[in-house]
Amino acid sequence: MIDWHTHILPQLDDGSKSVKESVLLINDLQSQGVDTIIATPHFYANDGDVSSFIKRRNGSFAKLQNANNSDVRLLLGAEVRYYPGISRLEDLDKLQIDDSGLLLLEMPTAKWTEYMLHELEQLALLPNLKIVMAHVDRYLKIQPFQVFERLIESGILMQANAEFFIDFFSKRKALQLLQNGFIRFLGSDCHGIKIRPPVIGKAFGVIENKLGTDFVNYFNEYGRYMLKLNK
Ligand SMILES: [Fe+2]
């Protein structure tokens, strides 16, 4: 299983507070069946440029790797916050997940304007990147569904959070959107051992229970392919 969205790198954002907590999170995720974790610390263009972010991220990652004894695969990415003009950000491609070309993009939780939708379509046209919308479940009730259909048509892929599949009120919708191919990636979006702990194993349990093992295998295979892990 791949966890596509985590804040497990120590002391980098509002996620893990220490190397010790990061190691606990990795072990917890592994015990839930995760073999590949994508670290996606928040990137806000207001806080500095891409190269200083990458430098900080690599420093945090190096500290973690010194202490991490698990055989879980850790890949680096970012949760890039949208802002008007992001499509012109130099070095945007350096924020991609590993060398997959996939860029995890976080949108504001307010109604999106036509300008924003248009810019998302511009991002989708970038030749070297493929946009993955972070926790799409957060926006479903804010935008008309046609907005998502339009974005999917432009080539944007959707990531959902594990809670979407666990919450009694959203579970049915989540399974329906997964089954019809709307949701391509699943993430725990974990921030800590106590605050927003990972529940991705439970979400996969719900999925397997309702959609079957073959579906889960297919879903995982797709994820590995998109990460270019099948080479
Ligand atoms: Fe996040």
Domain ranges of the chain: 2-226
Q: What is the mean pLDDT of residues 133-152?
A: 97
How many whole angstroms separate alpha carbon 179 and alpha carbon 161? Answer: 15
Structure confidence at residue 133 (pLDDT): 98
Q: What is the mean pLDDT of residues 138-151?
A: 97
pLDDT confidence bin for 174, thresholds 50/70/90: very high
The residue among 201, 206, 219, 209 whose CA lies nearest residue 27 is 201
Q: For residue 139, report the distance from its CA to the centre of ligand 1, in Å.
A: 14
- Assess contact for 136 and 158: CB atoms under 8 A: yes
Q: Which residues contact 9 (CB under 8 A, 6 or more apart)?
A: 15, 16, 22, 39, 41, 57, 60, 61, 64
Q: What is the mean pLDDT of residues 36-51?
A: 96
Q: What is the mean pLDDT of residues 72-95?
A: 96
Structure confidence at residue 157 (pLDDT): 98
How many whole angstroms separate alpha carbon 195 and alpha carbon 19? Answer: 16
Per-chain residues with Cβ under 5 A from ion ligand 1: 79, 189
CATH number of 2-226: 3.20.20.140
- Assess contact for 34 and 40: CB atoms under 8 A: no
Minimum mean pLDDT range among 136-140, 148-152, 226-230: 226-230
Structure confidence at residue 230 (pLDDT): 75
Backbone φ, ψ for residue 225 (5° rounding): -60, -45
Q: For residue 142, report the distance from its CA to the centre of ligand 1, in Å.
A: 18
Kindly state the percentage of the chain with pLDDT values over 70: 100
Residue 58 amino acid letter: N
Q: Which residue has the tokens 């995760």?
A: 34
Q: What is the mean pLDDT of residues 174-198?
A: 97
Angle of the 114-125 helix axis to the 145-153 helix axis, nearest 10 = 20
Q: For residue 190, report the distance from its CA to the centre of ligand 1, in Å.
A: 7
Structure confidence at residue 172 (pLDDT): 98
Residue 231 has pLDDT above 60, yes or no: no
